[in-house]
């Protein structure tokens, strides 16, 4: 009996459910007022008609887009670049483009554009218990009177003002996204479908099911829904929609399936979205009533502070590093499952993510140094204070941060939005042995670094009512300043060796008494032995100046004739001064030396102190 049951279980694979793609919801929303439409279907139908009449190949470049949407050319280029980092179809010509000229020549598919523009009306999930959450569930421009209170808080106070049980989990966010799609999927289908005569839907055509009675959906138009949805399950790969439909499954590319009436597709989608909502609801209910698992993907963001602070992961969801406090954490390729990573609510810590990923999010962190390896699509940093972020990436968005420093190797212009204060940017300043290999894997070009070419948008984010007061007027976000070259130093990742020590100012430390774990060291093989991004002349001159100063200190130590007792006394005195500086300065970052062996210090450390500290380390090694 048991064997028969086991055989039946083996013969029936687990059911696949619809899931929203997180990427366009998390990395594809732009706070540009001209992209917010009060009547999405009518406005986008007109835009569709205008574009298709002028672009027979169904692709639109930035010039046409600026004209049709009546936005500045730099905003239209930003829009296309944003679509390129959240696009679902790896075969799309836009993903093969690398330079701005190639991106503009490739253009964006008009139907991907329509879905992207429709999604700009999405409203992010508010914390549970918000007294006006029903009114601002998903439709712009609803706002909340409670926003005025939240706006007076700093970004970090804003995050901490919500207790654990009020912070939405990833399961909450997924359910919210599905609810939005369930409500709007009819209008979305109307934008993709064609009328019976093949000329497409007309401007102002009736909304709701009546509007689909005379419309048909082809398989190629249906595939564009993959921008928003996919089939899969926890721990499984993603499957295209057409492979799991009764309409287009197993269709021959040389003989595509016939178009299907839009009402049939709508009914099928609504049924599957509802099934997915029920599945998520049951899963979350079981988790709330039963024991939690540290590997569960849907642990609430702040709840991980009460857990072991180990990352949780699955192929479907992001790997999480949560709640690390006064410690350090090293994660490499073998530790990262899936294609994205989130670093959430980490404080007074050093976080290393030395792996190639597509997406990375840093949220609600303070007084921390975070090193992201190679991020091939996009990085989003939000609600952080006094964080030093070091990353190579194709694109980065910074929102609602204070007193943070960003050391960047970035191919597209950094985007700064929201309520920011005292931000600084600087060229990329580190390396690790596998860095160039990881950059090649995700397609980052080390010859293009737009770290100082900032794109500044407004303070008010129409997708997030927590970031601004209700009814407040929008202004341009505060820009970032370039870090003084005299304060620029190289951050050294990994175990200290002659190769990594030579010519570098130590910014992260690792001596013989502070070992990198063997599991980490085993993945350190690689050919990168220097910063792959060329430095601008002022920063290169400053680095050379630091190197010369260091050599003078080292030569002074060599020329000093000390016996063993004097050496021990000097070493003890230097070590005592080092500890006094490290633990006595309130602005320094504390790191648990027993964890992963990394010490860190903000880059504002003066050059002579850096040289003294490095000389201390060198002297200790010599002794």
Q: Which segments within 339-435 are labelled E, that is strand? A: 340-344, 350-363, 366-382, 385-393, 396-399, 405-410, 415-417, 424-427, 430-431
Confidence check: pLDDT of 389 > 70:
yes
pLDDT confidence of residue 550: 78
Q: What is the mean pLDDT of residues 341-367?
A: 94
pLDDT at position 261 over 60: yes
Q: What is the mean pLDDT of residues 469-489?
A: 76
Mean local confidence (pLDDT), 317-322: 83
The residues near 252 (Cβ < 8 Å, ≥ 6 apart) are: none
Average pLDDT, the chain: 75
The two structure tokens encoding residue 481:
């300043």
β-partners of residue 391 are 372, 408
- Maximum mean pLDDT: which of 112-126, 388-402, 512-526: 388-402
C-alpha–C-alpha distance, residues 217 and 196, integer Å: 10
Of 48-52, 238-242, 432-436, minimum mean pLDDT range = 238-242
Q: What is the dihedral of CA 363, 364, 367, 372, to 10 degrees?
A: -10
Q: Say if CB 294 and CB 311 are below 8 A apart.
A: no
pLDDT attached to residue 194: 87
CB neighbour list of residue 560: distance below 8 Å, 6 or more residues apart: none
**Lowest model confidence (mean pLDDT) among 229-233, 388-392, 589-593:** 589-593
Q: What is the mean pLDDT of residues 481-495?
A: 85
**pLDDT of 24 strictly over 80:** yes
Mean pLDDT of 105-115: 94
Q: What share of the chain is helix, strand, coil (3-state, %, to 5)?
A: 40, 20, 40
Most confident of 54-58, 472-476, 504-508, 559-563: 54-58
- Looking at the predicted structure, is the pLDDT value of residue 623 above 50? no
The SS3 of residue 500 is helix
Residue 435 has pLDDT above 90, yes or no: yes
| Token duo for residue 336 | 């990262």
Residue 412 binned pLDDT confidence (cut-offs 50, 70, 90) = very high
Of 63-77, 208-222, 440-454, where does mean pLDDT reach its minimum? 208-222
Residue 443 confidence class, pLDDT cut points 50, 70, 90: very high
**What's the pLDDT score for residue 603?**
38
Could you tell me the two tokens for 429? 């300043």
Exposure pattern of 268-292 as b/e (b: 16+ CB <10 Å)?
ebeebbeebbebbeeebeebeeeee
Higher-scoring residue by pLDDT: 434, 161 = 434
Higher pLDDT, 501 or 20: 20
Query: What distances in angstroms separate CA 269 from CA 122, 230, 239, 354, 584, one per listed residue?
Result: 19, 11, 15, 39, 60
Give the predicted TM-score (pTM) of the model: 0.78
Residue 28 has pLDDT above 90, yes or no: yes
Which residues face 33 on adjacent strands?
none
Least Cα distance to 376 among 444, 278, 287 occurs for 444
Q: Are 372 and 393 in contact (CB under 8 A)?
A: yes
For 58-77, what is the mean pLDDT?
93
Asked whether the predicted pLDDT for residue 138 surpasses 80, the reply is no
CA 573 vs. chain centroid, Å, equals 44
For residue 142, the model assigns a pLDDT of: 33
pLDDT of 230 higher than 60: yes
Q: The tokens 């989130």 sit on which residue?
A: 342
């Amino acid at each position: 009996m048991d064997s028969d049951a086991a055989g039946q279980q083996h013969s029936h694979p687990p059911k696949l459910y619809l899931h929203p793609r997180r990427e366009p919801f998390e990395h594809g929303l732009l706070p540009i007022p001209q992209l917010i439409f009060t009547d999405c279907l009518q406005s986008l139908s007109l835009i569709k008609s205008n574009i298709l009449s002028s672009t027979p190949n169904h692709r639109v470049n930035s010039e046409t887009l600026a004209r049709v949407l009546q936005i500045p050319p730099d905003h239209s280029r930003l829009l296309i670049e944003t679509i390129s980092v959240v696009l679902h179809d790896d075969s799309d010509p836009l993903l093969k483009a690398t330079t701005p000229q190639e991106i503009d020549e490739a253009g964006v598919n008009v139907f991907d554009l329509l879905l992207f523009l429709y999604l700009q009306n999405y409203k992010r999930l508010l914390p549970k218990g918000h007294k006006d959450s029903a009114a601002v569930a998903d439709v712009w421009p609803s706002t909340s009177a409670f926003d005025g209170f939240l706006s007076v808080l700093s970004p970090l106070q804003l995050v901490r003002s919500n207790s654990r049980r009020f912070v939405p989990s990833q399961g909450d966010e997924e359910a919210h996204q599905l609810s939005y799609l369930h409500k709007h999927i009819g209008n979305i289908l109307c934008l993709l479908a064609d009328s019976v005569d093949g000329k497409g839907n007309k401007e102002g055509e009736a909304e709701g099911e009546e509007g689909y009675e005379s419309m048909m959906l082809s398989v190629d138009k249906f595939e564009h829904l993959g921008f928003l949805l996919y089939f899969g399950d926890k721990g499984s790969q993603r499957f295209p929609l057409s492979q799991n439909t009764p309409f287009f499954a197993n269709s021959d590319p040389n003989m595509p399936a016939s178009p299907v009436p839009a009402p049939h597709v709508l009914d099928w989608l609504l049924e599957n979205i509802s099934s997915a909502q029920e599945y998520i609801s049951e899963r979350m209910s079981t988790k709330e009533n039963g024991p939690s698992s540290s590997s569960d993907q849907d642990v609430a963001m702040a709840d991980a502070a009460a857990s072991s602070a180990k990352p949780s992961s699955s192929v479907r969801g992001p790997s999480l590093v949560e709640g690390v406090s006064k410690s350090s954490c090293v994660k490499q390729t073998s530790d990262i499952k899936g294609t994205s990573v989130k670093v959430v609510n980490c404080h007074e810590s050093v976080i290393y993510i030395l792996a190639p990923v597509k997406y990375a999010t840093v949220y609600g962190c303070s007084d921390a140094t975070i090193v992201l390896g190679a991020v091939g699509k996009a990085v989003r940093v939000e609600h952080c204070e006094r964080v030093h972020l070091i990353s190579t990436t194709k694109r980065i968005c910074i929102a609602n941060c204070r007193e943070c420093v960003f050391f960047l190797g970035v191919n597209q212009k950094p985007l700064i939005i929201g309520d920011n204060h005292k931000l600084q940017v600087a060229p990329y300043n580190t390396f690790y042995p596998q860095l160039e290999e990881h950059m090649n894997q995700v397609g980052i070009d080390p010859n293009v670094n737009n770290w100082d070419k900032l794109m500044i948008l407004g303070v008010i984010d129409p997708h997030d009512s927590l970031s601004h007061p209700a009814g407040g007027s929008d202004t341009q976000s505060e820009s970032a300043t370039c870090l003084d070259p005299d304060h620029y130093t190289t951050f050294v990742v990994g175990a200290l060796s002659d190769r990594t020590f030579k010519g570098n100012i130590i910014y992260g430390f690792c001596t013989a008494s502070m070992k990198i774990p063997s599991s980490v060291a085993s993945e350190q093989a690689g050919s990168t032995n220097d910063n792959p991004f060329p430095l601008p002349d002022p920063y290169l001159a400053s680095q050379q100046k630091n190197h010369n100063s260091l050599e003078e200190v080292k030569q002074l130590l060599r020329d000093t004739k000390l016996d063993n007792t004097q050496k021990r006394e000097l070493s003890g005195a230097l070590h005592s001064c080092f500890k006094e500086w490290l633990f006595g300065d309130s602005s320094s970052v504390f790191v648990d030396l027993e964890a992963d062996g990394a010490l860190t210090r903000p880059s504002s450390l003066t050059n002579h102190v850096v040289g003294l500290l490095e000389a201390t380390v060198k002297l200790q090694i010599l002794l």
